[in-house]
Structure 1
Amino acid sequence: MSALPGLSWRLLRGGGRRNMLGAALTAVAVAVSTALLLFAVSANLAFQGRGDREAWRNPVPAQGGAVAVQAVRTDYVREERITVVELAALSPDAPPPPGLERFPAPGEVWLSPALAELARRLPADQRAARFAGKGGGTVGDEALIHPGELVAVRGWAPDAAVFAVRDGRETDGPREGVAPTRISDFTGKPSFDAQGYQALALIASVLMVVPLLVFGGAAARLTVARRDQRLAALRLVGATGGQVVAMTAAEAVITASAGAVAGALLYGLLIPPLTRIEIGGGPWFAADLWPGVPYTLAVLAAVPLLVGLSAVVGLRRVVVSPLGVAKRETPPAMRFVRVVALLAVLAVVPALSAGTGAGVIAVVLGLAFLSINLAGPWVVGVIGRVTARTARGPARLLAGRRLVDDPRSAWRTVSGVALTGFVAGFMLLLSPTADMLGESDASRLRITVPAERAAALTGQARERLAEAGVPAGVEVTGKGEERTLVVALAGGRDAGEVQAGRGTRGASGDAQGSASGGDGGAAAAQVDAALADRARTALDGLVPGRSATSEADEDRFGLVLIGDIGTGTLVVLVVSFLVAVVSAGITAVSSVLDRRQTYALLRLAGTPLRVLDRARRAETLIPLAVMGGGSIAVGVFCALPFAVTSVNTRGLVTLLACVVLGFAGVIGAGAASAPVLRSVTENPAPRPD
């Protein structure tokens, strides 16, 4: 160990119990930041991994010789989506698709573990009969989006009827179905849904990562006054500016490295419970939430470097004016240009829209975060001057003078909750509800059929439903080369009219029912799930390659997406709230340790301890109320270009809960640091340090 890092290590160890407590607080802050940063990185990689595993179901047409033909359709059971992949080999050396040990032979059916379990649990006439055939095996994890996904892979002969049907529509991925496609491999391309989730994950990561980086940088400034005093003394006795910088960087990196390693271990322990968070229809594989060795090492290297850089940046006064630091002179006031930077970023927000790229949105949000953090200390200084001028008692006067004297330290205490307020305000207008989709009709199943076979298929559908004991009416609607066969299940809206031959739509009517229209209402548009599954099973194979679906089936993805946005919002707020509370608690204790000599001198001068405690609370709660409300307003303003049509009541409740819990967390953190205040004022005699 070289001389300067060795001296830094000896000063760190020899600073006494309270100095080691300050180092421990920094390590804890870094550990929390590292764990949550690894979570943010892993979330993006996890969505990318899901997209890669799903890509093979969104095939790319072969440019040269094709080795197989592939089609994808969507079926439903118990209100859950089943992805059905139809395959046929065109060449004897066709490679197996992901998750399968070999290419499925004609008549073989391979099921995912969750679908196989469901087939065993449900009666055959509700699910299993749809995939009759030889058992081919189990679809492996590398072909599944999540552990509970329902996937069936069926083998066919190349001339099977299932590959002769084409719907003539351009699709964005397996959710809409994929027409028969000749392929040369199973590489595929990410679906539109996968890209959408990755974009949302990127935006969510910015909302989580920027506060983490701010918190990590602030960790380097914990107990800064104590450290600056020590370094200023070394500077005055002959240490060069470079030596002071080197010692500071070494001390910060040593502490941060220990915290970063602890944070990585903490995140490893959190992976099992994190896998239970359901996004995109199901939970996660544990491997999805581990970023891998390269990314982990990158985070473990980046976090200590960030902390070291933040510690060095704050050394200007020590290097340039060590005597001023030793004399505790108030630093010059900050300039209004900090607020100008925030206003400049906000001026860009109205130019954004829902069609703006996720990368651009992420950059603007990141700049808004950083601008709030930049303007925060200036605003705190203004608050301090107003508080001091309007004070009517010693506690508020002390609080105001403290805010003016060191607004940066006061901002570090409330910055976590203020940035959380920005997140909550941004999320308030971006939380859609299921009401946006309206009421969906689950009582009318529909299948697209060729016009020339419409009459024959209608008769076959009636026969199949009668044999299965499913009470339903059948009619054909639409014009052109393809028609829509509509099956109205008994108990659902308009079923009786269809059975009596009085269809609710004319021959040119739209096959899509609207559960919000008519006299039946939403309740009548719902049927027993078992009855609907029996009808789907009876109609399976009526038109090869097509499934019977209802309006409610097709709206389920929207419901899942709305639920996922709510889950993502909650996760982001929980992470931000955790950062805010930990930041408030650590900085509150650090602030007391930084000013222990000031507190001791005030106690020696006769200031009651309760006055000091009230002043300490006031210097936190006053700027918190102003900056918290201001950050929420800025978050709402940044969300306006992307706002949904109406405010989500649940989002508003979440916002209010976040604000209440944030204030409660800061108050609780202040109360937790009260024993430290009593400890440092027990012996008010001035210390030689």
Structure 2
Amino acid sequence: MNLDLTWRLLRGGGRKSLLGTWLTLGAVIVSTALLLFAVAANFAFAARGERGAWRNPVPVEEGPFKEGAVAVEAARFDFVGDQAITVVDLAALKAGAPAPPGMPRFPAPGEVWLSPALAELAERLPADQLAGRYPHPKGVLGDEALVHPGELVVVVGHEPDDPELTAARSDDWILGKGPARVASLAGTPSEDSEAYRALTLVASVLMVVPLLVFGGAAARLTVARRDQRLATLRLVGATPGQVVRMTVAEAVIVALAGALLGAAGYAAAAPLLARIPIAGGTWFVSDLFPHPLILAGVLVAVPLLVGLSAVVGLRRVVVSPLGVARRETPPAMRFVRVVALLAVLAVFPMLSRGSSVGIVAVAVGLAFLCLNVTGPWVVGLIGRVTARTARAPARLLAGRRLVDDPRAAWRTVSGVALTGFVAGFLGLLSPGLFADDEAPAQLRVSAPAAQAPEIAGQARDRLRAAGVTAEVKVTGESSDKVVVAALGSGADTATIDRARTALAGLVPGRTPTTADDDQRFGIQILADVRVGTIVVLSVSFLVAIASSGITAASSVLDRRQTYGLLRLAGTPLEVLDRARRAETLIPLTVMGGGAILVGVFCATPFMIGGMSTVGVITLAGCVVVGFAGVIGAGALSRPLLRSVTADPAPRPD
């Protein structure tokens, strides 16, 4: 009976009431699709880390009661142009050693296996720039061996006593881990993989919390229409349980349809999202699809969230249906909302860059939620100040509307305000660029001090045979010396790669590197932070502008009878439109600016140095885009305002 009545009310509310349902559906579609993206990003980085774990060897502890080693493994980086090559050196200690991922068997001594992208690059470049380092490849690695499509990886087989697997290596990131005797090729995710997962977790919180707020707000769109309708049913005899069941059924039906459409939209967009380059490459599309259980959880959680939010919004109807029918102003909210935000912000000065990423994510999430809880209270305060200082009808109407329903006004600007928090947090942390001193090109390779003069002589001979002009010298005061081959300021990328190829294997287990190579990971992670900032802000602004447009249109529908009566009383349409704009822009200016300051405050413990120029530009761009988006979204609902004021007749429901 309740479900049948709910369906009849949902279908029979009139064209404009159905428009409110469509707005709710659209909000849920956007929320679900972006929520899946935020969740899937974490699983995508986890999948990358697992696929690359085999290159991060874990030494085996051998003993009479422990598993013995089956192979020796070492990993390091090589370079070609501005790209890094992962070099994995392997040697079997026993027959039947397990095959590395992406290979049909364990590589025999002297065999070379290349990733598809590296094999293609080796064919395209002259042999003295790349192929000469890894001659006569035996085969091509499968996708299981790659962190991302297009990754450059080479696996080289050796004898266990080969110098590549017995020479000591330094601890820098280029020479990686090893050589190590391993019981399997399972390994563990690398440190850079864990760093990206930590950053992704924080970024997900910055995206998910606004999405949850937006999804919850979607359940309360056209709340005035539903409150009036359900209050009337209560007054004619409907029980509180019937009202709650009808509301939950209506919200869940719409939310479930929106969740399914949002999941379908995300699936269609996944191939495009896979083209976003992070950590040196794009993505396998399969990485961006969450586990079926996670997908099912999202499809269940979104309708439940919407249904719960709808029930929370029914407290006035269930308790006092007569008050709703008489349009009484609800009681003011309590200052405890602000106290909660201040309490959370007091925690941030205690945090530091060394804090656990989980603690940081929880703290940021709590700041987000408390900012959302505080918003309606501040909007109500803004409304009282606006009404008392009004000198024009439009401003007076705006102030009175803010006081009458601060929650609805907050829903219109909450998306951009919360995005202001994201912009303030990420803007302060947006990294600048490494200084480019344009120093002359030099290749350096470390060598044992006793062998350095001999190795320097070999370097001169190799470079001369390759036709590369260079000045070779030995520097350094420690036990290890550094052989430096100065190529001169006129050396181009091709010349540097020819010199790399000529010096390959000069010192077993060591890679000739330039100054740019030494800081390449730092450059890469800063570039990825900038890309991540753009992605998070793009998602946040998409949510914010969609939220603003949907709630602005919903607000017009909620108040269509009031607007119509004001028009009948002689209020010009332009005055109503100005009041509507002021009702949005006044709290947006205050709350948006306040949210940015809160975001900056929360980011202060984690910043390195002062705010960069990139951060200032990011913040300025966010302010401009945020205001422009809200103004544009509000302008789209102006024809709807004109339509509802032209026909103030009673509603069909």
- Taking structure 2 as the reference length, the TM-score comes to 0.97
Counterpart residue identity of residue 199, structure 1: A
CA distance in 1, matches of 2:90, 2:175: 18
1:578 to partner: Cα distance: 0.3
Counterpart residue identity of residue 139, structure 1: L
1:569 to partner: Cα distance: 0.4
Query: 2:12–2:652: 8 Å Cα contact kept in structure 1?
Result: no
* Aligned position for 2:349: 350
CA distance in 2, matches of 1:442, 1:79: 16
1:15 to partner: Cα distance: 1.1
* Aligned position for 2:239: 240
CA distance in 1, matches of 2:623, 2:647: 38
CA distance in 2, matches of 1:144, 1:646: 38
1:46 and 2:10 equivalent?
no
Unaligned runs of 5+ in 1: 493-526
1:71 and 2:87 equivalent?
no
Residue in structure 2 matching 1:150, options 133, 149, 152: 152
Counterpart residue identity of residue 334, structure 2: R
Taking the TM superposition and a 5 Å limit, the aligned residue runs for 1:7-86 are 7-63=5-61, 64-86=67-89
Unaligned runs of 5+ in 2: 62-66
* Aligned position for 2:475: 477
Name which of structure 1's ranges 426-435 and 394-403 shifts more when overlaid on structure 2. Answer: 426-435
1:639 and 2:603 equivalent?
yes
1:159 to partner: Cα distance: 2.1
CA distance in 2, matches of 1:481, 1:380: 67
- Residue by residue, what CA displacement relative to the aligned partner does 1:276-321 show, whole Å, maximum 9, x if unpaired? 1111011111111111311111111100000000000111111110
1:621 and 2:585 equivalent?
yes
* Aligned position for 2:408: 409
Query: 1:256–1:303: 8 Å Cα contact kept in structure 2?
Result: yes
- Residue by residue, what CA displacement relative to the aligned partner does 1:152-177 show, whole Å, maximum 9, x if unpaired? 0011122222112012x456xx6442
CA distance in 2, matches of 1:297, 1:427: 31
- Taking structure 1 as the reference length, the TM-score comes to 0.92
* Aligned position for 1:275: 274
- Residue by residue, what CA displacement relative to the aligned partner does 1:531-587 show, whole Å, maximum 9, x if unpaired? 111111111111222211122111111111110000000101000000010000000
* Aligned position for 1:295: 294
* Aligned position for 2:448: 450
State the identity as a percent: 67
Query: 2:439–2:489: 8 Å Cα contact kept in structure 1?
Result: no
Taking the TM superposition and a 5 Å limit, the aligned residue runs for 1:305-384 are 305-384=304-383
- Residue by residue, what CA displacement relative to the aligned partner does 1:180-233 show, whole Å, maximum 9, x if unpaired? 111111110111111110000000001000000000000000000100111111
1:256 and 2:255 equivalent?
yes
1:688 to partner: Cα distance: 7.0
CA distance in 2, matches of 1:466, 1:438: 29
SS of 2:210's equivalent in the other structure is helix
* Aligned position for 1:96: 99
Query: 1:440–1:551: 8 Å Cα contact kept in structure 2?
Result: no
* Aligned position for 1:519: none
SS of 2:128's equivalent in the other structure is coil
1:439 to partner: Cα distance: 3.7
- Residue by residue, what CA displacement relative to the aligned partner does 1:441-479 show, whole Å, maximum 9, x if unpaired? 562211122233222222111111111111111112234
Name which of structure 1's ranges 641-650 and 336-345 shifts more when overlaid on structure 2. Answer: 641-650
- Residue by residue, what CA displacement relative to the aligned partner does 1:587-620 show, whole Å, maximum 9, x if unpaired? 0010011111111111121211111111111111
* Aligned position for 1:510: none
Query: 1:601–1:685: 8 Å Cα contact kept in structure 2?
Result: no
CA distance in 2, matches of 1:471, 1:542: 17
SS of 1:549's equivalent in the other structure is coil
Query: 2:150–2:281: 8 Å Cα contact kept in structure 1?
Result: yes
SS of 1:456's equivalent in the other structure is helix
- Residue by residue, what CA displacement relative to the aligned partner does 1:373-425 show, whole Å, maximum 9, x if unpaired? 10100111011111111111111111111000000000000000000111111
1:99 to partner: Cα distance: 1.2
Residue in structure 2 matching 1:684, options 624, 648, 651: 648
CA distance in 1, matches of 2:301, 2:529: 30
* Aligned position for 2:460: 462
**Structural RMSD (CA):** 1.4
Counterpart residue identity of residue 632, structure 1: I
Stretches of 4+ aligned residues off by more than 3 angstroms: 437-442, 685-689
Name which of structure 1's ranges 477-486 and 40-49 shifts more when overlaid on structure 2. Answer: 477-486
Query: 2:440–2:489: 8 Å Cα contact kept in structure 1?
Result: no
Residue in structure 2 matching 1:115, options 106, 118, 128: 118
CA distance in 2, matches of 1:439, 1:361: 36
* Aligned position for 2:510: 546
Counterpart residue identity of residue 111, structure 1: L
Query: 1:413–1:587: 8 Å Cα contact kept in structure 2?
Result: yes
* Aligned position for 1:514: none
SS of 2:88's equivalent in the other structure is strand
* Aligned position for 1:497: none
SS of 1:395's equivalent in the other structure is helix
1:440 to partner: Cα distance: 7.1
* Aligned position for 2:64: none
